[in-house]
Homo-oligomer: A and B are copies of this chain.
Amino acid sequence: MKRVGVAVAGLGRIGRVHAEILSYRVENARLVAVMDVVEDLARSTAEKLKVKAYTDYDKLLRDGEVDAVFVTTPTYLHHDMIVRALEAGKHVFTEKPITVTVDEAVDVVRKAEKAGLKLMVGYMRRFDAAYEEARRRILSGEIGRPVAFLNIARDPGAPPGWAQDPKLSGGIFLDMLSHDFDMARFLVGSEVRKVYVSGAAVLYDEIRAKGDLDLVNVNFEFENGVYGVLHGSRKSVFGYDLRTEVLGTEGTVYVGSHVDPNLAIGVKSGVVFRGVQWFWARFYDAYVREDQAFIDSILNDTHPPISGLDGLRVVEIAEACWKSVREGRPVDVERRT
């Protein structure tokens, strides 16, 4: 295989980003087809990128030019689509989170392993230059032994449509904060073993109505003795607010900022900075490098840098968080494999 034939299944915003990237930014990738159940969307995207359009996933999976499938549909469809892709002998890249439940995650991890196919999960922050450099510096020992992980994550607004239903999306812990849990594991280099959550739905009525939360503070402990704390909110009026710190015995690493320093206006009330742009702009390059890494792992037959197991670990943490919410107490994270 000289170039990997890929198809993108699910053409919402994130699917179109992957399709665009795969069509011209990734070495050795060849975008073969795109698929969406909305025919117009499938057709217009395919035309623009000069590839085949499918509205039927099974037909896509029967396309012999397709070596790997990008699953970029809503979370609740992941499990079924991943399983069918694996059965069809395709490598799979799935957007985060891997699945809604731990059981589903265990299932796809095992099936990928058994089939000897690649399965990668899209926690693209790992490919962002700042987070990557942060990790390098932590590993280099610059900050001594890590002792605490801190994270503030605020989305500008409530998620759209299906993502408001925790049964379909996994709720705030999976849909939004799974990125932060993955980053915690990536930077601290250890597994989370206990979580305690306080929080509620205090920002949006529609979120409360669906049984999800929109404001949480998560207290957690890692196996290596690091203590973490994560504040998440579904509202930030001036823009995306994402800040991460790792405190070590000899220093601290800071990633992210609540302001964009590139434009400010000084008026009577003070100096006004813009908020940071929403994550598409912030992380575009990370998506490019992530997709490249997946293609490379197929061509070189190496482990994808974010494995199905990485995906499972985060779902385990999210389930522990929900249990902590229900029971009002700290909860051990149950590890399944």
Binding site for B on A (CB under 8 A): 23-24, 129-130, 133-134, 137, 142-143, 147-148, 150, 152, 154, 194, 196, 198-200, 202-203, 215-217, 219-221, 225, 227-229, 231, 233, 235-238, 241, 245, 247, 249-275, 281, 285, 328-330
Whole-angstrom CA separation of A270 from B237 in the bound complex: 8
Residue of B nearest to A267 (CB): B251
Whole-angstrom CA separation of A24 from B196 in the bound complex: 48
Specify which chain B residues have a CB less than 8 angstroms from the CB of A267 in the assembled complex. Answer: 142-143, 237-238, 250-251
CB of A115, distance to nearest CB on chain B (Å): 34
Whole-angstrom CA separation of A127 from B229 in the bound complex: 29
Specify which chain B residues have a CB less than 8 angstroms from the CB of A231 in the assembled complex. Answer: 148, 150, 229
Does more than half of chain A's interface fall in helix, strand or loop, or is it mixed? strand
Whole-angstrom CA separation of A254 from B243 in the bound complex: 13
Beyond A23-B24, A142-B265, A143-B265, list 15 extra A-B contacts (CB 8 Å): A24-B24, A129-B263, A130-B262, A133-B274, A147-B203, A203-B249, A216-B227, A237-B267, A241-B252, A250-B268, A252-B265, A253-B265, A254-B263, A266-B275, A329-B329
Specify which chain B residues have a CB less than 8 angstroms from the CB of A217 in the assembled complex. Answer: 148, 219, 227-229
Q: Is B258 within 8 A of A271, CB to CB?
A: yes
CB pairs A–B below 8 angstroms (25 shown): A133-B263, A148-B231, A150-B152, A150-B231, A196-B198, A196-B219, A198-B221, A198-B227, A203-B249, A216-B227, A219-B219, A219-B229, A229-B229, A238-B269, A238-B270, A252-B265, A253-B265, A254-B263, A254-B266, A258-B266, A259-B270, A270-B273, A271-B272, A281-B285, A329-B329
Specify which chain B residues have a CB less than 8 angstroms from the CB of A236 in the assembled complex. Answer: 252, 266
Specify which chain B residues have a CB less than 8 angstroms from the CB of A329 in the assembled complex. Answer: 329-330
Specify which chain B residues have a CB less than 8 angstroms from the CB of A237 in the assembled complex. Answer: 250-252, 266-268
Specify which chain B residues have a CB less than 8 angstroms from the CB of A252 in the assembled complex. Answer: 236-238, 241, 258, 265-266
Residue of B nearest to A133 (CB): B263
Q: Is B269 within 8 A of A263, CB to CB?
A: no
Specify which chain B residues have a CB less than 8 angstroms from the CB of A137 in the assembled complex. Answer: 265
Residue of B nearest to A195 (CB): B198
Q: A275 is contacted by which of B235, B261, B271, B281 (Cβ under 8 Å)?
A: B271
Residue of B nearest to A255 (CB): B263
